Structure 1
Amino acid sequence: MPHSITLSKITWATPDGHTLLSNLDLTFGSERAGLVGRNGVGKTTLLKLVTGALSPQAGSIAVDGTLGLLRQSVQVGPQETVASLFGIVEALGLLGRAERGEAAGDELAEADWTLEIRLAAALARVGLDAEAQTPLAALSGGQRTRAALAALVFRAPDFLLLDEPTNNLDRDGRRAVIDMLAGWRAGAVVVSHDRELLETMDAIVELTTLGATRYGGNWSAYRERKRLELSAAHRDLADAEKHAAEVARTMQAVAERKAHKDSAGRRKKARGDLPRIVLGGMKRRAEATSGANARLAESRQAQADEALASARERIEVLQPLTVAVPPTHLPPGRTVLKMEGVTAGYLPERSVIRDLSFTMTGPERVAVTGPNGSGKTTFLALVTGALRPWAGSVRCFTDFAVLDQRVSLLDPAQSIRDNFRRINPGADENACRAALARFMFRADAALQVAGSLSGGQLLRAGLACVLGGGTPPPLLILDEPTNHLDIDSIEAVEAGLRAYDGALLVVSHDEPFLEAVGVTRRLELSAQ
């Protein structure tokens, strides 16, 4: 019998009373389903409800099968090893005693002689070079994520529940997870913004404030369906605008006819050729008819306005962000950045970067790539002057702006508007509001305090403040900009960067992002 996860009429609210999921119906079968949606819409909450870590205020959840959950971060104790994560410390201890001839007869009957082979196969499946006794504290965050995923695969659950499994992984780690899921034949529910990973899915489930919508097929199929929905929404908007105009013309014609009849009635009354009782009846009927017509007209106008507003709202939800930013006028031949024979690090006995030379000229778009630990963050620290080289020279010949994962150029205590005016002191209020509106911070949205924004909103606000001014810096430096962002936010960032004509230096493992922003060259770093 096929395994399944069924959520029926689920409602869940935060402790402060904010309803996150309302009357939600959703079923997952033995398939690989990508769960997408904006940050804060309830994707992680849904996984917690399925596992029982949270209880719904209403509705029911039925799970037919076993579950294996991978959280966004793997917390480890100082004594924990890979074997601890797999839950096989005692079983490996038994094998060790058996090999030394120290195990009793009844223990030998319980020994799993395939354990070490299956452990090695699970680790190999996620591309992790580790052993059972490897301390988890000795692994990087990305390696621990891979180890935790290998432990899930080792247990062979009926459903994998994965929450952003490729976050903080380098290129090899992402590829290992993608390949593993591509070959997974049981059920999987994967919360992710990684479009490469979502291409391996059998279905995409989009979670919004209105509920959940299932789209058959992978990410490309989902985007095509959304494109068709956008085309239909444009047609609906055109129809709504046409209908609203027709209602307005009809109301105008009715008003003109009424004005004409009223004028004729006043002329008859002035001539005095009708009895007063007849005139009184005509007046009452006219008033009643006028009132009914006014109510009908108001109802039709309200319906037309509501349909028009709904069509416009749907367009705003479906329409990808496009922005126009002022030019930097960076000429093609100008040297932007030059590094010669640079060696640097943090500990005297161990360099992170050794004898590196690199030149960036004109509006190039360069991706800095390499495995975790290869020195990408160190490279950016050298470029920005946060770290001085031990040997060699680093020279930046233009103004630049840095957008790190925390968008630390924004003051978290200030509003988006105030941050913009601080970063662009020459911009007046109208220019500020126009620039922020291009990045979807309209009216009161521009008054939100930076510290209250989600990750996606924060990066979009940072881009607005850097690129929306009268003269954007000729060099923009980005450090893993898509980590922890939802897909809508990633696509908004991509749109802003496509409109930027300056030089771009970006550290990222997200290949679709690098392709979307038009990277023209790569600097591949290797671990020392």
Structure 2
Amino acid sequence: MSFITLDSVAAATPDGRPLFENLNLTLGAERIGLVGRNGAGKSTLLALIAGVRAPRSGTIARTGSIGVLEQIPDLSSATRLADLLGVGAAWDRLSRIERGEGDDADLSDADWTLPARLDQALADVGLAGMAAERPAASLSGGQATRAGLARLLIAAPDVLLLDEPTNNLDADAREVVARLLSRWRGGAVVVSHDRALLRGMDRIVELSSLGARSYGGGYDLYAERRALEADAARRDLDHAEREVRRVTREAQVARERKERRDAAGRRFADRGGTPKILLGAMAERAENSGAKEGRLAEKLAAQAQAARAAAEARVERARALGFELPSSGLPGARTVLALEDAAFAWPGGAPMIDGVSWRICGPERVALAGPNGAGKTTLIRLITGDLVPTRGAVRLGAPFALLDQRATLLRDEESILENFRRLNPAASVNDAHTALARFLFRNTAAHQAAGTLSGGERLRAALACVLCGAIPPQLLILDEPTNHLDLASITAIETALSAYDGALLVVSHDEDFLTAIGVERRIALKKRDAEKDVA
């Protein structure tokens, strides 16, 4: 049974820029992972399916109910967990009946199954035992996201629409999302760059300007097929280039042969004795034959050039994001970072970091692990000097750079070039252009405003700004760098970082990313007793 059918659907941005066209997609009781470059229109497609936006053209048929995992709004003090779950009125009705205050309408409309369904939904998302009357504003971000999932379980729609459901969640919360989807028996469309989550999908749909392309199976099969397609594209390009050379060579041979025939004809005419009418006919035949050969050569050359251009475009899409990081010059034995019995607490508060001692030597790759609220961000702020330890010491032995998930060192209103020169004042315009070209911001691309960049472009620009200065950092501190990147950008960043010769200190819940960049050691932080609520 099909719940959603899209027929020849096209969409555009509010300013009229086309996103995709001729998109055909049918969704039944299956889980679809929706992937594609940032800006391809994935969130727009979810809005079209949900009916909150209309397509530019084409039709969308819906035969089932749809549930959307919505962003949690700013919550007032009067909002309770029951309200967040979408059952506030039904819960109040049961409460009135329980107190003996219910009227006939309450008795008639009461949903006696609600308490059991609510308890089961909360248990399924790791919030077992949480009171329905609890103020929603008291929930952590992770708890609020889990409550949003519980709301969908209670509503039990035919189709779930989830847009980056694991962003900013720790490993335990990510597992809750994956478990919910693994048990889901309806339809689901999941926009995500979380490869662990995408592995549980029934198929992957890749969105591009040309529409949607479907790959059966989860992420690993999709990645394997995309790699095979990239190899085929490179082979096609090699063949197309050989064909261009062959056609060019044969056209040159044909021109030289025609020139020899023309020269022989002129010599024959110069000897005299041949009637002019016969010479004219011979010249006309030669001219027609030459023109025909010329047109054929031009047609073959055009076809060969078009085939090469198409093959180049396919290969370019696969390699467009590839770049290399410059050398940091880090000596192998240098102590890059040392924490000695470091602790931190706000005045009058319990310690958030307590008795931390470890060091990074040479080009080590270290991950800070732990649930949300364990103090990873606080520890980074101690390392960067934004906070001062209340006990112990933090010692940096090498230049460092911090890149958070938003690359906040870049000013949105400035161009990439202007950001680079602000952060590297000794660099000339030519130096800046040369450095940015290395990170694929060539010529006019360097003049894009930072605020217009995609997540992957922004991180790439930030890397260029911090790594190509007069003193390149020998320690890169990365705080959830993949949260707002598409899969292609994540792969490019992974490839670059895996070849980086400096030290890395990384906060990330993306296990695939940590494995790809070669993390050698994990330092686990535990949540403090005062914060042991589920994240």
Q: Same fold (TM over 0.5)?
A: yes
> Hey, what's the Cα distance between the residues in 2 that align with 1:417 and 1:299?
44
Once the two structures are TM-superposed, the CA of residue 23 in structure 1 deviates from its matched residue by 2.1
Once the two structures are TM-superposed, the CA of residue 31 in structure 1 deviates from its matched residue by 0.3
> Hey, what's the Cα distance between the residues in 2 that align with 1:418 and 1:304?
42
Calculate the aligned-residue CA RMSD, in Å: 2.3
**Which segment drifts farther, 428-437 or 133-142?**
428-437
- CA-to-partner distance for each residue in 1:309-362, whole Å, 9 max, x for gaps? 111111122348544333223233211111222222445424322232221111
Check whether the contact 1:230–1:319 (CA below 8 A) recurs between aligned residues.
no
Q: Which residue of 2 aligns with 1:292?
A: 292
**Alpha carbons of structure 1 residues 94 and 17: separation in structure 2 relative to 1, 3 Å:** closer
Q: Which residue of 1 aligns with 2:16?
A: 17
Q: Which residue of 1 aligns with 2:531?
A: none
Aligned partner of residue 352 in structure 2, secondary structure: strand
Check whether the contact 2:325–2:497 (CA below 8 A) recurs between aligned residues.
no
Once the two structures are TM-superposed, the CA of residue 8 in structure 1 deviates from its matched residue by 0.8
Check whether the contact 2:22–2:210 (CA below 8 A) recurs between aligned residues.
no
Give the residue type in structure 2 aligned to 1:8: D
Check whether the contact 1:326–1:471 (CA below 8 A) recurs between aligned residues.
no
Aligned partner of residue 188 in structure 1, secondary structure: strand
**Alpha carbons of structure 1 residues 20 and 183: separation in structure 2 relative to 1, 3 Å:** same
Aligned partner of residue 338 in structure 1, secondary structure: strand
> Counterparts of 1:82-481 in structure 2 under 5 Å?
82-104=81-103, 107-108=106-107, 110-128=109-127, 130-319=130-319, 321-420=321-420, 423=423, 435-467=435-467, 472-481=472-481
**Alpha carbons of structure 1 residues 298 and 465: separation in structure 2 relative to 1, 3 Å:** farther
Gaps of 5+ in 1: none
Check whether the contact 1:460–1:492 (CA below 8 A) recurs between aligned residues.
no
Q: Does 1:7 align with 2:6?
A: yes
> Hey, what's the Cα distance between the residues in 1 that align with 2:7 and 2:299?
37
Once the two structures are TM-superposed, the CA of residue 96 in structure 1 deviates from its matched residue by 2.3
Q: Which residue of 2 aligns with 1:44?
A: 43
Aligned partner of residue 117 in structure 2, secondary structure: helix
Number of equivalenced pairs: 527
Check whether the contact 1:323–1:499 (CA below 8 A) recurs between aligned residues.
no
**Alpha carbons of structure 1 residues 294 and 419: separation in structure 2 relative to 1, 3 Å:** farther
Give the residue type in structure 1 aligned to 2:317: V
- CA-to-partner distance for each residue in 1:429-452, whole Å, 9 max, x for gaps? 777556544433344333323222
Aligned partner of residue 12 in structure 1, secondary structure: strand
**Alpha carbons of structure 1 residues 157 and 294: separation in structure 2 relative to 1, 3 Å:** same
> Hey, what's the Cα distance between the residues in 2 that align with 1:10 and 1:343?
57
TM value normalised by structure 2: 0.92
Q: Which residue of 2 aligns with 1:67?
A: 66
Check whether the contact 2:400–2:475 (CA below 8 A) recurs between aligned residues.
yes
Give the residue type in structure 2 aligned to 1:42: G
Q: Percent identity?
A: 53
TM value normalised by structure 1: 0.93
Check whether the contact 2:476–2:502 (CA below 8 A) recurs between aligned residues.
yes
**Which segment drifts farther, 75-84 or 3-12?**
75-84
**Which segment drifts farther, 16-25 or 493-502?**
16-25
Check whether the contact 2:125–2:176 (CA below 8 A) recurs between aligned residues.
yes
Check whether the contact 1:463–1:496 (CA below 8 A) recurs between aligned residues.
no
> Hey, what's the Cα distance between the residues in 2 that align with 1:481 and 1:374?
18
Check whether the contact 2:79–2:136 (CA below 8 A) recurs between aligned residues.
yes
Check whether the contact 1:326–1:470 (CA below 8 A) recurs between aligned residues.
no
Once the two structures are TM-superposed, the CA of residue 21 in structure 1 deviates from its matched residue by 2.7
- CA-to-partner distance for each residue in 1:220-243, whole Å, 9 max, x for gaps? 111111122122212212221221
Once the two structures are TM-superposed, the CA of residue 373 in structure 1 deviates from its matched residue by 1.5
Q: Which residue of 1 aligns with 2:57?
A: 58
Give the residue type in structure 1 aligned to 2:340: E
